[in-house]
Structure 1
Amino acid sequence: MTDGTWITLISLGVTFLFMIGVPVLLIIAYWVIGCSFVLGLTLDNMGAELLNVFNKGFALLAMPLFILTGDLINQSGIARRLSDFAYACLGWLRGGLAMASLGACGLFAAISGSNSATTATIGSMLHPEMVKGGYDERFSAATAAAGGTVGIIIPPSIIFIVYGFLMNLPISDLFVAGILPGTLMVVGMQLACWIICRANGWGFLIPLQLNRVLKTAFGAWLGFFAIGLVLWGIYTGKFSPTEAAGVTVGFCVIAGLLSWVVSRALNLRDDKTWKEKSYAEMLVVEGFTIPQLPGIVMRSAQITGILAPLIAISVVMQQILSLLGAQQVIGDFVTSMGGYYAVLFTAMIIVFVSGMVLESLPVTIILAPILAPIAADVGVDPVHFSVIFLVGASIGFITPPYGLNLYVASGVTGVPYFRLLKYTVPYLVALISVWILVSLVPELALILLPAR
């Protein structure tokens, strides 16, 4: 058989494995190894490339630190306080609690940098409250899934770190460029949420009270400080994204320990029979203790252990795709579309369709090195294109058949996957509208950047 036939059979084989649920890392690894043998590449080559990725990957050190940050703020109670603040501000509107959950997703994303962590955290906290508040359980779960899409756009963003590493762009610039588009995504989804809730009469209204807003804002000051610390440090150049991640982790550790001390003290003061409690019962408070830290770190390390090898093996995949001429074929197709807008919208369609069947990380690793240079050739600013690319990839989190956030929301809420799909449509319309707006108005991504 010819090399082309072998590669076709290998591709069909790994596609079957993907359909039956084999992890994406193994799918790409099997394909890379099989194609390497067909093309006469040695496994030594693959090993050298894998090692080379991490030898050059100082920027990637920010990734595990921001993953750890997300776990720390979840355990410390900061996420709950940010949610309370959002509800105090929006609860007077029809659908206020659902809109608050979207706002809480934006605030959580501004510290964690992860879409799945945002969906899981906010969904597990606010879905029961929304159902009690008269919202349809399917809509409530879909809201958590949609809110998680901003997790990779509002800085800090794990996927922006990967994109900047692959395309040799300043990660700090990518972070700043994601602020306004991410905010617009939240506002667009809140508008869609308000329309749906108003039409269905969902949600109980609470009065807008300045003292409640101020009280919840004061209670969430640790979260606001963490957000401000990251954005201030990166925007002013006081520290790099990797240093910002380290500083934020340190702050969240201190905040979590202090939260445990304070909330435990309040708990003991209100319960005179605390001596009769078990140690496990006494830990049902906000924050965490030093003995709990290894478990939190281990959970974060498990996620990093999935993402880091995937990045490395996908770099080798790029090399093989280049040898096969796939990049040239896709590049020629996109370039043949014509000028600025034709190339831009063709690239957007490719990203959107790819996001329907793949997670944002492999989409970024496979397509960004192909599409970004073509976009730059027709005059698209590289930082602007990075935002366009990743907003499109983020929409894939709530598009079937893959829709990672839909699976996460289904898991934490207990609502079956297929029952969520109907209620994701309004959010998809809102997100796609914002995506097109960001693509047509570069200033939305570039206006906050320092002079370049």
Structure 2
Amino acid sequence: MEDGTWITIISLAVTMLFMLGVPVLLVILYWVVGCSFVMGLTLDNTGAELLNVFNKGFALLAMPLFILTGDLINKSGIARRLSDFAYSCLGWLRGGLAMAAVGACGLFAAISGSNSATTATIGSMLHPEMVKGGYDERFSAATAAAGGTVGIIIPPSIIFIVYGFLMNLPISELFVAGIIPGTLMVFAMMATAFIVCSINGWGYLIRLEIGRVIKTAIGAWLGFFAIGLVLWGIYTGKFSPTEAAGVTVGFCIIVGLISFPLNRIMGQDADTPVSEKSTASMLVVEGFTIREIPSIVVRSAQITGILAPLIAVSVVMQQILSLLGAQSVIGGFVTGMGGYYPVLFTAMAIVFVAGMILESLPVTIILAPILAPVAASVGVDPVHFSVIFLVGASIGFITPPYGLNLYVASGVTGVPYFRLLRYSTMYLFSLIAVWLLVAMIPELALALLPNR
């Protein structure tokens, strides 16, 4: 048989494996190894290429550090304080707790940079509260899944780091470009939550109390400081994204270790309601002991151990696709649309379809090197296109049949996957509206960049 026939058979076989639930990493690896044999590429060459990805990827060091940051702010109690603040501000509105969950996702994302960590953390904390507060459990879980989409858009963002590494773009500029689009996504999902809850009459209202808002704001000051530290350092150029990740990890460790004994001295723990906490105890978070740090690091390392090999294998997959001519075929098809908007919308459609069946990491690694040059050829700013591309990839987190965030939300809430789809679809429409807005108005991504 000819090489093309063998590659077709291999592609169909790994597609079947994917549909049967085989992890994406193994599916891509099987495809890479199979195609390497067909094309006469040695495994030595494949192994060297896998290693080379990390030998030249200093920027990728920020990825495990931001993953660790997410686990630290969750364990320390900073995430809980941020969600308490969001609820105190929005709880007086119909659907206020759902809106607070989305707002908490945005605040958590501004420190962690991970969509799945955002969904898992906020979902596990606020889903039980929402169900107790009169919300439908399916809607509550779907809200956590949708809110997690901003985890890779609001800086710092793990996937922006990968995109910048692949396309040789300044990661600090990509971070800044994601601020306004990420904020718009949060507001759009809040508006959706308000409309859905108003129609269904869900949620118990609380009074808007300035004292409570001030107290929870004081309690969340360490979270605000961490967010400000990252954004200030990157925006002013004081440190690189990798250095920012290291600084944030160090800050969270210090805060966690200092807060734990201080809380015990004051006789208050994590279960003490915000309204009953003393003002002094609100200045520190629940914290953790030094003995808990190894388990936190191991948890973060497990996630990194999944993502890092996936990056390497996907890069090699993209190289093989280039050898097969896929880059020129797809690029030629998109270019053939002719004109700025036809090319841009065609590229967006490809990203959307890919996001339905793949996680954002392989979508980015495989398609960004193909679509970005084509978009640049018709005048799309590279940084603007990066935001368009990754907002589209983030929408894939709640788009069936893959929808990673839907699986994560289902896992942490116990609500079956297919029962989430009805309410996640409502959030999907609002996110697509923001996506189109960002695509048509470049200033939404470029306004905060002084040199654009």
1:58 deviation in Å?
0.3
Q: Which amino acid aligns with 2:373?
A: P
In the TM superposition, what is the alpha-carbon distance from 1:312 to its structure 2 partner? 1.0
**Which shifted more, 255-264 or 206-215?**
255-264
Q: Tell which deviates more after alignment, 316-325 or 253-262.
A: 253-262
1:173-184 correspondence to structure 2 within 5 Å: 173-184=173-184
**Quick check: 1:217 aligned with 2:220?**
no
Name the CA distance, whole Å, in 2 between partners of 1:220 and 1:202: 27
| Counterpart contact for 1:75–1:287, Cα < 8 Å | yes
What is the CA-CA distance between 1:269 and the residue it aligns to? 9.8
Match of 1:226 in 2: 226
Once residues 270 and 123 of structure 1 are traced to their aligned partners in structure 2, the CA distance between those partners, rounded to angstroms, is 18
Matches within 5 A, 1:1-80: 1-80=1-80
Match of 2:278 in 1: none
Distance in 2 of aligned mates of 1:265 and 1:127: 31
Whether the 8 Å contact between 1:180 and 1:444 is mirrored in structure 2 is yes
- Asked if the contact 1:154/1:175 (under 8 Å) is kept, the reply is yes
How far apart are residue 291 of structure 1 and its match? 0.7
| Corresponding letter in the other structure for 2:443 | E
Answer yes or no: is the 8 Å Cα contact 2:270–2:286 preserved in 1: no
Percent identical among aligned pairs is 83
Unaligned 5+ residue runs, structure 1? 272-284
How far apart are residue 257 of structure 1 and its match?
1.3
Distance in 2 of aligned mates of 1:81 and 1:390: 29
What residue identity is the alignment partner of 1:36?
S
Aligned counterparts, 1:5-404, within 5 A = 5-267=5-267, 286-404=286-404
Q: Which residue of 1 aligns with 2:416?
A: 416
Partner Cα distance (1:269, 1:212) in 2: 19
Kept in 1: contact 2:105–2:148 (CA 8 A): yes
Look up the SS of the partner of 2:266 in the other structure: helix
SS of structure 2 residue aligned to 1:126: helix
Question: Taking structure 1 as reference, are residues 36 and 131 closer, same or farther at Cα in structure 2, changes over 3 Å only?
Answer: same
Quote the Cα distance in structure 1 between the aligned partners of 2:249 and 2:269.
30
Preserved contact between residue 80 and residue 125 of structure 1 (Cα < 8 Å): yes
How far did 1:450 drift? 2.7
- Cα 1:154–1:269, aligned 2, differ >3 Å: closer, same or farther? closer
Question: SS of the counterpart of 1:433?
Answer: helix
Whole-Å Cα distance in 1 between the matches of residues 270 and 241 of structure 2? 42
CA distance in 2, matches of 1:450, 1:65: 28
Question: Quick one: distance in 2 between partners of 1:291 and 1:169?
Answer: 40
Q: Distance in 2 between matches of 1:203 and 1:259?
A: 33
For 2:133 and 2:419, the matched residues in 1 are separated by 20
Superposed displacement of residue 43, structure 1: 1.2
RMSD: 1.3
Name the SS of the counterpart of 1:267 in structure 2.
coil
Does structure 2 retain, via aligned residues, the 8 Å contact 1:110–1:151? yes
Deviation at 1:48, TM superposition (A): 1.6
Q: CA deviation at 1:267?
A: 3.3
Deviations 1:184-235 (A, max 9, x none): 0000000011000011111111111111111000000000000000000000
* Residue identity opposite 1:78 in structure 2: I
Measured in 2, the distance between the counterparts of 1:267 and 1:334 equals 63
Distance 1:245 1:269, change over 3 A: closer
The gaps in structure 2 that reach 5 residues or longer are: 272-284
TM superposition shift of 1:270: 13
2:388 and 2:264 mapped to 1: Cα distance? 45
Report SS of the residue matched to 1:402: coil
Aligned amino acid, residue 131 of structure 1:
V
Q: Following the alignment from structure 2 to structure 1, what is the Cα–Cα distance between the partners of residues 71 and 167?
A: 28
Report how far residue 265 of structure 1 moved. 2.5
- If the length of structure 1 is used for normalisation, what is the TM-score? 0.96
CA contact (8 A) 1:36 1:42 kept: yes
Structure 1 pair 270/12, CA: closer, same or farther in 2 (3 Å)?
Answer: closer
Deviation at 1:255, TM superposition (A): 1.2
Residue 426 of structure 1: how far off its partner (Å): 1.4
Secondary structure of 1:239's counterpart equals coil
Contact 1:77-1:259 within 8 A present in 2 as well: no
Q: Supply the AA of the counterpart residue of 1:332.
A: G
Residue 268 of structure 1, CA deviation = 6.7
Aligned partners of 1:57 and 1:128: how far apart in 2? 41
**Structure 1 pair 97/337, CA: closer, same or farther in 2 (3 Å)?**
same
State how far apart, in whole Å, the 1-side matches of 2:138 and 2:313 are: 37
Give the C-alpha shift of residue 39 in structure 1: 0.5
Q: Which amino acid aligns with 2:153?
A: I
2-side partners of 1:199 and 1:293: how far apart?
45
1:275 is aligned to none
